[in-house]
């Protein structure tokens, strides 16, 4: 395959400058798109930062069990009395998690008192035991406990909103991919690198958008969305690099 006969390097200097700014603008757009993706999906599970739970919640829906419940269910801490474990579990699965945390009416059976006696030897910021767990998961105050005490159910995006978003993204991202692909094929790299990147970009975009809908019934496809989106963005960025190289490297000898 010899690729397209036209080469971007053959354009006048002014045109090459113009295309350079266009590619730079597309680069800014890709970076902004990545930042928007993080900002749009992060904190769906009410925990700072983008995680697979955030993405799973957006496309499939997920129930996030409170970390304290998970720890208690797996038998942590080992020396916690059964009565205290039952007290904490009843509290965490009830409807008054914040109200009953340090309720005076509960006396020594208040969750705050149980946590203080059973957990702060390791989970205090001043604790010397626990290999430093008190610094990463402190339980000294209610603000600390609240971060790990609530179970959450994250509902997937409404189908009507998903269809509207896919309508916009499929047309604009498809057209953008085609444009960058044609620019990449108008370079000296049209024999090997550019066609391979075009294939990856096209396949990744198609997989990404299709899995938006399929993931509602199959949670594992959320991983495919993340992988395909990463591949699309990476292949588009590399095509942009090839275009810039073609625009400013010395012309090939005939």
What pLDDT score was predicted for residue 20?
Answer: 97
Of 3-7, 150-154, 172-176, give the range with the top mean pLDDT.
172-176
| pLDDT tier for residue 254 given thresholds of 50, 70 and 90 | low
Query: Could you read off the pLDDT of 115-141 as tens digits, one per residue?
Result: 999 999 999 999 888 888 989 999 999
Q: Which of 98, 129, 150 is the last residue of a domain?
A: 150
Report whether pLDDT(220) > 90: yes
- Specify the number of domains making up the chain: 2
The answer on 136 and 78 residing in a single domain is yes
Average pLDDT over residues 43-50: 66
Tell me: do 87 and 135 sit in the same domain: yes
Distance separating alpha carbons of residues 86 and 100, to the nearest angstrom:
15
For residue 225, report the phi and psi dihedrals to the nearest 5 degrees.
-60, -45
Show which of 150, 167, 190 is a domain's final residue: 150
Q: Do 82 and 142 share a domain, yes or no?
A: yes
Q: Record the tokens describing residue 185, joined without a space.
A: 């094929």
- Same domain assignment for residues 167 and 235: yes
Question: Does residue 209 sit in the same domain as residue 90?
Answer: no
Bridge partners for 64 per DSSP: 152
> Angle, nearest 10°, between helix axes 13-41 and 52-59?
90
Clarify whether residues 202 and 78 are in a common domain: no
Round the average pLDDT of the chain to a whole number and report it.
90
Mean pLDDT of 56-81: 89
Same domain, yes or no: 126 and 204: no
* pLDDT for position 13: 96
Looking at 150, 170, 196, the residue that finishes a domain is 150
Tell me: do 80 and 145 sit in the same domain: yes
Q: Is the pLDDT of residue 105 over 90?
A: no
For residue 253, pLDDT over 70 is answered with no
- Please give the residue that has the higher pLDDT: either 180 or 38: 180
- Mean pLDDT within 24-30: 96
Residue 215's alpha-carbon distances to 83, 157, 224, 227, in angstroms, are 41, 11, 9, 13
- Burial (Cβ within 10 Å: 0-12, 13-18, ≥19) of residue 43: middle
Residue 1 has pLDDT above 60, yes or no: no
Read off the pLDDT of residues 134-147 as tens digits, 9 standing for 90 and up.
Answer: 899 999 999 999 98
User: Are 128 and 70 members of one domain?
Assistant: yes
Determine the Cα–Cα distance for residues 98 and 96; give it in Å rounded to an integer: 6
Give the rounded percent of residues in the chain with a pLDDT score beyond 70.
Answer: 95
Give the DSSP per-residue string, 106-172: GGGGSHHHHHHHHTHHHHSTT-SSSTTHHHHS--SSHHHHHHHH--EEEPPPPHHHHHHHHHHHHHH
- Using 50, 70 and 90 to split pLDDT, how confident is the model at 3? very low
pLDDT of the residue at 181: 97
Both structure tokens of 68:
């304290």
Beta bridge partners of 152: 64
Decide if 254 is inside a domain. no
214/201 Cα distance (integer angstroms): 20
**Residue 142 in domain:** yes
Check: CB of residue 134 under 8 Å from CB of residue 124: yes
Kindly indicate the confidence band of residue 215, based on its pLDDT and cuts at 50, 70 and 90.
very high
Mark whether 82 and 122 lie in a shared domain: yes
* Residue with the larger pLDDT of the pair 153 and 30: 30
User: In Å, how far are 90, 113, 115, 117, 174 from 120, measured between CA atoms?
Assistant: 20, 10, 7, 7, 55
pLDDT bracket for residue 37 (50, 70, 90):
confident
pLDDT at 128: 86
Range of the domain at 57: 8-61+157-248
- CA–CA separation, 225 and 205 (whole Å): 9
Q: Checking phi first, is residue 122 left (phi over 0); if not, alpha (psi -120 to 50) or beta? A: alpha
Q: Give this prediction's pTM.
A: 0.75
H-assigned helices in 157-220: 159-185, 193-214
Confidence of residue 45 (pLDDT cuts 50, 70, 90): low
Residues 175 and 241 in one domain: yes
């Amino acid at each position: 395959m010899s690729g397209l006969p036209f080469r971007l390097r053959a354009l006048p200097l002014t045109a090459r400058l113009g295309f350079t700014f266009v590619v730079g603008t597309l680069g800014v757009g890709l970076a902004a798109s990545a930042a928007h993706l993080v900002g749009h999906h992060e904190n769906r599970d009410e925990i700072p930062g983008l995680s697979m739970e955030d993405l799973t919640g957006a496309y499939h829906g997920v129930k996030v069990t409170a970390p304290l419940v998970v720890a208690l269910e797996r038998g942590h801490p080992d020396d916690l009395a059964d009565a205290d474990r039952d007290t904490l579990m009843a509290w965490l699965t009830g409807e008054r998690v914040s109200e009953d945390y340090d309720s005076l009416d509960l006396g020594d059976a208040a969750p705050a008192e149980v946590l203080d006696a059973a957990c702060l030897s390791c989970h205090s910021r001043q604790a010397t035991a626990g290999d430093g767990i008190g610094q990463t998961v402190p339980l000294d105050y209610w603000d600390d406990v609240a971060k790990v005490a609530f179970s959450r159910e994250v509902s997937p995006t409404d189908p009507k909103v998903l269809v509207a978003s896919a309508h916009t993204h499929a047309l604009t991202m498809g057209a953008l991919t085609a444009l960058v692909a044609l620019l990449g094929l108008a370079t000296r790299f049209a024999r090997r690198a550019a066609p391979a990147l075009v294939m990856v970009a096209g396949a990744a975009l198609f997989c990404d958008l299709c899995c938006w809908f399929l993931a509602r019934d199959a949670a594992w496809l959320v991983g495919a969305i993340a992988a395909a989106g990463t591949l699309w963005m990476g292949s588009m960025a590399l095509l942009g690099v090839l275009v810039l190289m073609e625009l400013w490297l010395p012309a090939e000898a005939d």
